[in-house]
Amino acid sequence: MMKTKLLCILGPTAVGKTEIAIEVAQRLNAEIVSVDSRQIYRKMDIGTAKPMPAEQLAARHHLIDCVDIAEPFSVSAYQTLADAAITDIQSRDKRVMLVGGAGLYFRAIVDGLFEGPGADAAIRRRLREEAEQHGLDALHERLRACDAASAARIHPNNLVKVIRALEVYELTGTPISQLQQQWHNEPRYPFIAFGLTMPREQLYRRIEQRVDVMIDDGLIEEVKGLLAQGDSRNSNALQSFGYKELIAYLDGTCTLDAAIAQLKQNTRRFAKRQLTWFRRDARIEWIERVSTAQVVETLSSCIP
């Protein structure tokens, strides 16, 4: 069984990871494990920039379209699926490539999950009630007061993560960001990691162009279809950028132009948070994305 290092291609949204990863995978006899917290969901295609069917045929992808949006899903569940995919790929003497922009999911694979307290239903219920009474921003401000590092990386609208961070602090007296530093010193898998980057202004232009293409490709109809599934409206998946903004438009609380502008802004902010997360990891070697051909050549020549 092949035990070569995992090849990781990481970076912010819209930097062009998929295109490059497919070409590298073809050169290296590799299969791709998606490191994306939203492409794991079925029917969330356009808004997550999920690889097209032809792209998935060009290089086999794993951990895409695994979960219904109404199903609960956790980082621990993702780690279990990723471990199974890696074992399967290596059993067939293929190289494993981790590709994506979900920093916590990447760490779950290569470093494991940090030790934290179990869930406390009473605390979670109380915090959720507080959010309903005082608003998401007020709860996020509470998090900022006790755990500024977590508040900086968790969006105020991500109620599940805000509540979990506050829950951990109440139960342990220690910020979850500090507990997360308890990851194992030795990685779970040998790996080599590269981060793709480009000038911020260029990345932001690509983000805005991508949003325009998503709208033209039918993102609004995709959101309508997901909402029609009944119990999906309150799912964590639909609270992410690309969906919540258009839900607001469909609910009549803003214009389409305002929703699109908000989507572009939220995506830019998300890309900034991704870069901040990955740049804290000194194991990642950064490559300027000048052209697809150049990056593919560089990556292919760097792999042992």
- Is the confidence at residue 72, as pLDDT, over 90? no
**Best CA proximity match to 44, nearest among 205, 214, 267:** 214
| 6-114+183-302 under CATH 3.40.50.300, yes or no | yes
d(CA 160, CA 154): 10
Q: Quick one: pLDDT at residue 244?
A: 93
d(CA 192, CA 7): 5
**Best CA proximity match to 266, nearest among 139, 131, 157, 137:** 157
Tokens for 184, please give them: 């194992």
Confidence of residue 77 (pLDDT cuts 50, 70, 90): very high
Amino acid at position 79, single letter: Q
CATH architecture of 121-181: Orthogonal Bundle (1.10)
3-class SS at 70? Answer: coil
Q: Which H or E run includes 284?
A: strand 284-288
Mean pLDDT of 191-197: 96
Q: Quick one: pLDDT at residue 255?
A: 98
Q: Per mean pLDDT, which range of 1-5, 60-64, 263-267, 280-284 is the poorest?
A: 1-5
Mean pLDDT of 181-210: 90
- Is the confidence at residue 2, as pLDDT, over 50? no
Q: Quick one: pLDDT at residue 182?
A: 60
Confidence of residue 140 (pLDDT cuts 50, 70, 90): very high
Confidence of residue 4 (pLDDT cuts 50, 70, 90): confident
Q: Per mean pLDDT, which range of 14-18, 151-155, 260-264, 266-270 is the poorest?
A: 151-155
**Best CA proximity match to 229, nearest among 217, 247, 211:** 247
Q: What percent of the chain has pLDDT over 90?
A: 65
Full-model pTM:
0.83
Cβ atoms of 35 and 99 closer than 8 Å: yes
d(CA 201, CA 224): 32
Q: Per mean pLDDT, which range of 55-64, 232-241, 279-288 is the poorest?
A: 232-241
d(CA 112, CA 115): 10
**Best CA proximity match to 148, nearest among 117, 169, 172, 126:** 169
- Is the confidence at residue 184, as pLDDT, over 60? no
Cβ atoms of 287 and 194 closer than 8 Å: yes
pLDDT in tens, 145-181: 999 988 988 888 888 889 988 988 888 788 887 776 6
Mean pLDDT of 84-88: 97
**Best CA proximity match to 56, nearest among 21, 88, 29, 27:** 21
Mean pLDDT (the chain) is 91
Mean pLDDT of 214-220: 98
Domain residue extents for the chain: 6-114+183-302, 121-181
DSSP annotation of 234 reads: T
Cβ atoms of 42 and 65 closer than 8 Å: yes
Tokens for 39, please give them: 């492409």
